[in-house]
Amino acid sequence: MAARICVAQIGAAHGTRGEVRLWSFTADPAAVKDYGPLESEDGTAQFAIEALRPARNHLVARLSGVRDRAQAERLANLRLYVPRDRLPQAAPDEFYHADLIGLAAHGLDGCQIGTVVAIQNFGAGDLLELRAAGESKTVLLPFTTATVPVVDIAGGRIVIDPPHNLFKA
């Protein structure tokens, strides 16, 4: 399991006083402020969220130490992480995306089909992005119990029931 989890990403600067657009990856977007200081991916910078408000399709955040637009602009596209132990335990049948990425995907017959490379959500529910063994292209599968009947994080695998011929040439 990952030692740190990406919980947000900074977008563009917002206004002239150092606020930033913030995309939260937490189930409740505003909960991102509850996890304490957020760290840059390389761990060299920490930011506390001093103020947070909703905007049209993102949040607007005031971060500690960021007081003007120039400072905010330098943070564009920065991913923000927290140590895993600050996050709540996942409920049964809930998973952190970071725990799913990299799992081996096996068919119902036990044969390995591929690997989970990402989790996507375009508004209608989570989709697993899988790369078939030896392939460069990926496929998307709905992350439902019908399509993914087994998730075995400890065993490093999922079992999938893909549509017929999805992984055939």
Domain assignments of the chain as residue spans, ordered by start: 4-86, 97-160
**Where do we find the tokens 């949040």?**
59
Give CA 124 to chain center in angstroms: 16
* Confidence at residue 8, expressed as pLDDT on a 0 to 100 scale: 96
* Confidence at residue 1, expressed as pLDDT on a 0 to 100 scale: 59
Is the Cα torsion angle 96, 97, 102, 108 positive or negative in sign?
positive
Write the pLDDT tens digit of every residue in 122-161.
878 899 999 998 888 999 999 999 999 999 999 999 999 9
Q: pTM of the entire structure?
A: 0.75
- Domain 4-86 listed as CATH 2.40.30.60: yes
Query: pLDDT under 50 in the chain at which residues?
Result: none
**What CA–CA distance (Å, rounded) separates 51 from 22?**
12
Domain 97-160 is in which class? mainly beta
